[in-house]
Amino acid sequence: MNAENQEIMHQIISQNQRLLQNLNTQRHCTCEVRQLISEITGEKIAENTEIRLPFYSDYGRNIKLGERVFINANVMMVDLGGITIEDDVLIGPGAYLISVNHQLAPHQRKELDLKPVLIKKNAWIGAKATILPGVTVGENAVVAAGAVVTKDVPANTVVAGMPAKIIKKID
Residue numbers annotated as active site:
102
Whole-number Å distance between alpha carbons of 33 and 20 = 10
